[in-house]
């Protein structure tokens, strides 16, 4: 079964302005690497603008947040609105945000119905990213919590009793944690540099026994990353016995990334992808949805995504 790739040209229209690290060129860099013949076997489709997207957003966010983001969108070409110093909207941002959410929903539908869809895992190449968006707050480049919305959708529409998110972005996924923290049937595991934006993700933040943070220190590399995963997050994930695994796939822990100072390389991302796929194969029939989060050095991002997606493809068969 081929790996599903969901993306859309409108992600280039989310214009964050000159010098912003979360820029359209990130999509172009990923497009370039995934155009290589190694990825010819991907099943490619467009991230949809789904009729149920607003209903789905409201599972993770109050209506007031949805309406705030809708009202904030500028309508004049070239205009930009800042929701906070880092989080920018342009006229193309609303459609991009809805399609980013829609990609997660579509990916969940496909991997939960592999006989019909012909796929068991998926990669959503989307922007704006989502893991910093708290229930009632857009922040950290993020408007809606794409991965939390997909998780709650999987439960509502497909009857998943236990849904897990593992986040290896260099920044802690405070938004996912905020939405998950009081629900024992939602698992969140995160490695991230600390101290670093957004300042959350301490070991002591455990929710209702469903949050597993493993902070890393500046300068830590693959050995520390793998030890954190092996000692804290992966055993907890196995014990949780998920019906579906979602990945917040941020690649800014790479040693070349300008926004942080961990020392991971492409093989580290391939390693954790393989570990999560092994657990998925044993516990949830290989069902994995990966959603792009950070990664701001274009070369490192492209190479890391390539390794991540190739690992997904090899597991999908």
Q: Annotated active-site positions, please?
A: 132
User: DSSP of 190-224, one letter per residue?
Assistant: EEEESS-TT----TT--TTTTEEEEEE-TT-BHHH
The DSSP bridge pattern shows strands 88-89 and 81-82 to be antiparallel
- Helix-then-strand count for the chain, H and E: 11, 10
Instruction: Classify residue 39 by its DSSP letter.
Output: G
Strand partners, 247: 166, 290
The residues, ordered by sequence, that sit 6+ positions from 291 with a Cβ below 8 Å of its Cβ are 103, 104, 107, 123, 124, 126, 130, 146, 147, 150, 246, 247, 248, 249
Strand partners, 244: 163
The DSSP bridge pattern shows strands 163-167 and 244-249 to be parallel
Q: Answer for the pair 83, 269: CB distance below 8 angstroms, yes or no.
A: no
The residues, ordered by sequence, that sit 6+ positions from 126 with a Cβ below 8 Å of its Cβ are 6, 7, 8, 11, 47, 96, 99, 100, 103, 104, 146, 291, 292
H or E segment and range at residue 186: strand 186-193
If 0-12 CB within 10 Å is exposed, 13-18 middle and 19+ buried, where does residue 243 land? Answer: buried
């Amino acid at each position: 079964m081929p790996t599903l790739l969901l993306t859309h040209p409108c992600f280039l229209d989310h214009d964050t302005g000159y010098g912003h690290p979360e820029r359209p060129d990130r999509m172009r860099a990923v497009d370039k690497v995934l155009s290589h013949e190694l990825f010819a076997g991907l099943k490619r489709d467009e991230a949809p603008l789904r009729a149920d997207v607003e209903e789905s957003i409201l599972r993770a966010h109050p209506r007031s947040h949805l309406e705030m983001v809708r009202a904030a969108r500028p309508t004049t070409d070239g205009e930009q609105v800042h929701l906070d110093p880092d989080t920018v909207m342009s006229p193309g941002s609303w459609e991009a945000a809805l399609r980013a959410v829609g990609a997660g929903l579509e990916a969940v539908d496909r991997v939960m119905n592999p006989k019909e869809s012909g796929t068991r895992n998926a990669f959503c190449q989307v922007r704006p990213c989502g893991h910093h968006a708290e229930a009632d707050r857009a922040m950290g480049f993020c408007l809606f919590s794409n991965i939390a919305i997909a998780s709650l959708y999987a439960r509502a529409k497909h009857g998943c009793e236990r849904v897990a998110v593992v986040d290896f972005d260099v920044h802690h996924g405070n938004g996912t944690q905020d939405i998950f923290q009081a629900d024992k049937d939602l698992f969140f595991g995160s490695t991230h540099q600390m101290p670093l934006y957004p300042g959350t993700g301490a070991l002591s933040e455990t929710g209702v026994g469903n949050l597993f943070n493993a902070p890393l220190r500046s300068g830590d590399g693959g050995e520390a990353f793998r030890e954190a995963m092996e000692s804290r997050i992966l055993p907890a994930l196995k014990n949780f016995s998920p019906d579906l695994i979602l990945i917040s796939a941020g690649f800014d822990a790479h040693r070349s990334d300008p926004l942080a100072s961990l020392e991971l390389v492409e093989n580290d991302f391939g390693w954790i992808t393989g570990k999560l796929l092994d657990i998925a194969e044993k516990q949830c029939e290989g069902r994995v949805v990966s959603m792009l989060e950070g990664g701001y050095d274009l070369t490192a991002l492209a190479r890391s995504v390539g390794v991540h997606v190739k690992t997904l493809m090899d597991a999908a068969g």
